[in-house]
Amino acid sequence: MLRIILFFSLLSAAYVSYGQQTFIVNDKIAPDITAQYHVLKDSPDVKQGRYLALYKKKIVAAMGNYERGKQTSIWHFYDPSGKIVQHYNFSTKQLIYEVPDDTLSYKISYDFDKKIADTDRVTKPIRIGDIFYGYQPYLKLFKIDASTLNRQPLLYVVLQVLVSPNGRLAECKLVVRARLNNNIVDSYLINNESLTDDDKLFIPATINHENVSSTIYILCKLTPNGGVSIY
């Protein structure tokens, strides 16, 4: 709590230094995640200054800085328990830290568009914002049909994200499968135009230092109201 109070104190001070008129926006970006940030008074769509997202109004999910609508400097991303999972520098476009996959509480896997030999050096694709915060813009666009939801105990869902070699979202869909035979029951495709440029940003996969297309598979959960959750 002290960290959040201190953050908001710095938040208020930051806007004076910019010398531009701004006002505060409180935005619900996911069912359990709210964000507070400033926008320019003469350009309400342009974020300016410090940004804070909270999970269940008390746990930091993301914090960082905007300058005229662009994410700048180092951003910090957290999991639902408040543990740090990623540091990313938007000014230098460098990943500073990401928690290893084998420490996570969910299942994630990757495919690559090239065959991999044992001697190849491979790096995975990475969503900026990490798993919990970074995929919220995708998850909130899915709504499972009631007829499908009624079969929930017999189903499982997988988020499939295709990432291009230049580190952009190429395709995102949710695949609903039957537990008994693994057959596809239904699938839902995201309209990429409904996402912002920031929502589509990834670090691309590489094989021997060459960028390649890749697919990320994340096992998800169906919520009682037909939504989708990773945690």
**What confidence tens digit (pLDDT) does each residue in 158-187 have?**
999 999 999 999 999 999 998 889 999 889
Q: What is the pLDDT of residue 1?
A: 47
Q: Are 36 and 14 in contact (CB under 8 A)?
A: no
Q: Which helix (H) or strand (E) holds 88?
A: strand 84-89
Average pLDDT of span 119-132: 95
Domain hosting residue 115, numbered range: 103-231
Q: Which of 74, 99, 124 is the last residue of a domain?
A: 99
* Same domain? 10 vs 91: yes
Residues 154, 188, single domain; the answer is yes
Q: How far apart are CA 83 and CA 29, in angstroms?
A: 20
Question: Of 59, 75, 99, at which residue does a domain stop?
Answer: 99
Residues 204 and 119 in one domain: yes
Length of the chain (residues): 231
Under 8 Å between Cβ of 57 and 79: no
Would you say residue 32 has pLDDT above 70? yes
| Token digits of residue 204 | 């691309």
* Pairing status of strand 43-55 against strand 33-40: antiparallel
Does one domain contain both 110 and 92? no
pLDDT number for residue 105: 64
Q: How many domains does the chain have?
A: 2
65 in the same domain as 18: yes
Co-location of 76 and 7 in the same domain: yes
